[in-house]
Amino acid sequence: MRHGKYPLIITFLVPPLLLYGIFVLSPYLQAFQISTTDWLGYSPSANYVGLENFGTLLRDGALWNAVRNNLVLLVMLPIVTIGLGLFFATMLNMGGRRGVAGVVGVRGSSVYRLVYFFPQVLSVVIIALLWKEVYHPNNGLLNATLRGLGLGAPTWLGDPRTAFWAVVAVMVWSNVGFYVVLFGAAMQAIPRDIYEAVMLDGASRFTTLVKVTIPLLWDTVQVAWIYLAIAALDGFILIQQMTDGGPNHSSDVIGLRMYNTAFGSETKFGYASAIGVVMFFLTLSVAVMALRAARRDRIEYS
């Protein structure tokens, strides 16, 4: 086996690296180049303008408004999604009362698992359409229920106070299922004897979760955190489909700003690339910080 190692590695590694280089890395490098030009996107000519685009960007109120929304997302989305994901995964995997060691799921957990995972199989655009109807102020499911309960019926997507949060709720809804499955899989891998020992020591369920399960899941939570942070800096498709950044820019995000600057209401590709470059560094630093902050001693149990 030894002697065939390098040809094998090269055959399997070179094509993907080549593709990655051409279709992922080179556009990035070009984005950096384009962000220093005033390219308008429909002719090959562009002038070098240095860092002017980045200067404009600093004074662009609409962009800062979008950045603020992304920062709110960055805080809210991972906390809520991971919190809910952990809760549901715990319930599905060790919430039941049957059995000796308290490590079975609640009754019907296989059905719940399916229900939670359901949003994952839908395309984001379909999710957006679905929820647009749910939020329909007059005929929507949500307001019909609220009216039935005798409560007020807000115009969810038409009010600057609620539009953004209504979309955030959908973001959480569509993400939670994946993390339930991810955390669930990690929980299955935790040896049962640990739980038996904890039970014998008389620990409550909550203590078991906080002191045993979560520490043992930490690596997985960390991965979830990074994924969600990246998702929080994007959020483009749902926002574009559901509110298009409105009303009055209240639900704008950086991705939508970039799209509208290049393809939507203007054709400033140079400036849009500058926004893209800023987004790149934002995402990169967030990911690095998340990795650093979440670093802990690893627990091995094999």
Partner 1 sequence: MNRRDILRRTAAASLLAVPATGLLTGCALGGDDNSTGESAEGTKSEQNPLGVKEDAPLEVVIFNGGFGEDYAKAHEAMYTEKYPKATIKHSATQEINKTLQPRFVDGTPPDVVNNSGAGQIDFNGLVSQNAIADLSELLDAPSLDVPGKTVRDTLLPGVVDVGSYDGKFLVLNYAYTAYGIWYSTKLFTDKGWEYPKTWDDHIALCKKIKASGMAPWTYAGKHPRYMSWPVISTAVKFGGVDVAKAIDNLEPNAWKSDAMKAAADAWYQIVKDGYILPGTPGLDHVQSQTEWCRGKAAFISCGSWLESEQKKVTPAGFNMSVAPTPSLGTGDKLPFEAIRGTASEPFMVPSKAKNQAGGLEYFRTMLSMKGAQDFTRKVSSLSAVAGSTQGIELPFGLSTVVKALDASGNNGFNWVYNNFYRKLERELVDAACGEFFSGRTTPAEFLEQCQKGADQIAGDSSIKKYKRS
Of residues 62 through 121, those in contact with partner 1 by CB under 8 A are none
**What secondary structure letter does DSSP report for 22?**
I
Nearer to partner 1, 92 or 279 (CB): 279
| Residues of span 5-44 touching partner 1 by CB under 8 A | 23-28, 30-31, 33-34, 37-44
Report the nearest approach of partner 1 to the CB of residue 100 (Å). 27
Q: Does 287 bind partner 1 (CB under 8 A)?
A: yes
Burial 4-36, CB ≥16 within 10 A → b, else e: eeeeeeeeeeeeeeeeeeeeeeeeeeebeebbb
| Part in contact with partner 1 (CB under 8 A); list of ranges 88-96, 119-127, 171-179, 253-261 | 253-261
191 touches partner 1 (CB under 8 A)? no
Backbone angle region of 295, left / alpha / beta, with phi > 0 → left and psi within -120 to 50 → alpha: beta
Residue 95 or residue 179: which is nearer to partner 1 going by CB? 179
Among 135, 164, 179, 183, binds partner 1 (CB under 8 A): 135
The 226-245 site mask, x for binding partner 1 (CB under 8 A), equals xx--x--xx-x------xx-
Per rule CB under 8 A, is residue 283 in the interface with partner 1? yes
Among 75, 122, 284, 289, binds partner 1 (CB under 8 A): 284
Handedness of CA 197, 201, 203, 205 (dihedral sign): positive
For residue 276, give Cα distances in angstroms to 29, 39, 96, 255, 257. Answer: 11, 14, 47, 8, 10
Binding mask 139-178 for partner 1 (x = CB under 8 A): ----x---------x-xxxxxx------------------
CB atoms within 10 A of CB 238: 21
Q: Count CB-CB contacts under 10 A for residue 210.
A: 12
Q: Is 267 in the site for partner 1 (CB under 8 A)?
A: yes
6 versus 23: smaller Cβ distance to partner 1: 23
Assess 265 for contact with partner 1 (CB under 8 A). Answer: yes
Q: Where are the alpha helices (DSSP H) in 100-213?
A: 109-121, 124-134, 141-148, 163-188, 192-200, 205-207
- Whole-number Cα distances in Å, 49 to 34, 36, 54: 10, 6, 10
Closer residue to partner 1 in complex, CB, 102/246: 246
